[in-house]
Amino acid sequence: MTGEMTRIWKKFIDLSLKEFNRIYDYLNVHFESYRGESAYSKDMKNIIKLLDEKGITQVSEGAKVIDLENEGLGFALVEKSNGSSMYITRDIATFLYRIKTYDFTKALYVVASEQILHFKQLFAIMKKLGVDKKYLDGAKHIPYGMVSLPTGKMSTRLRKCCKS
């Protein structure tokens, strides 16, 4: 990213956190730390290296995948053929960071139901990595459904949202 792009991106982060915190304050919810997805970008090559060293990746059409067919979960794409990482790769990095940093007993992923397969794959990969059972047992995906309008599914990208 250019300097100007980075400045604008950081401004959006600051504005977003300010608004999120306004809502969290209203709900009396407080966080000890914030760590966004971009914090894990620098770890991607090390995560791929770890997956390779554990012998759980294979190359398919130049991309790296993890075979989860035996678990009934298909294949998880962890690195595109151009070397770009995927959400699941960043989620692997996040999971490992949370173990190291927080030694958690519970990790709840409250994410839309469209991501059920993603989280099943994530937890299966963590198991293949040999993550301690206490972390696997404590990690849960809490799926929620989408709110629909009479005109169909809401989409902020398409500006199809509720207005107060």
Confidence (pLDDT) at 1:
66
Confidence (pLDDT) at 149:
76
d(CA 25, CA 19): 10
One-letter amino acid of 15: L
In whole angstroms, what separates CA 133 from the centre of its chain?
20
- Which residue ranges make up each domain of the chain? 1-34, 35-153
d(CA 127, CA 137): 10
Confidence (pLDDT) at 8:
95
Half-sphere exposure of 140 (CA within 13 A, CB side): 8
Confidence (pLDDT) at 160:
66
The rounded average pLDDT for each run of 10 residues, N- to C-terminus, in the chain (164 residues) is 88 94 95 87 95 98 98 98 95 97 95 96 99 98 84 71 60
Tokens of 28: 């009396």
Confidence (pLDDT) at 52:
98
CATH class of the 35-153 domain in this structure: alpha beta
Confidence (pLDDT) at 163:
61
E-assigned strands of the chain?
58-60, 63-67, 75-79, 107-112, 139-144, 148-149, 152-153
Confidence (pLDDT) at 156:
67
Is the four-CA dihedral 16, 93, 88, 46 of positive or negative sign? positive
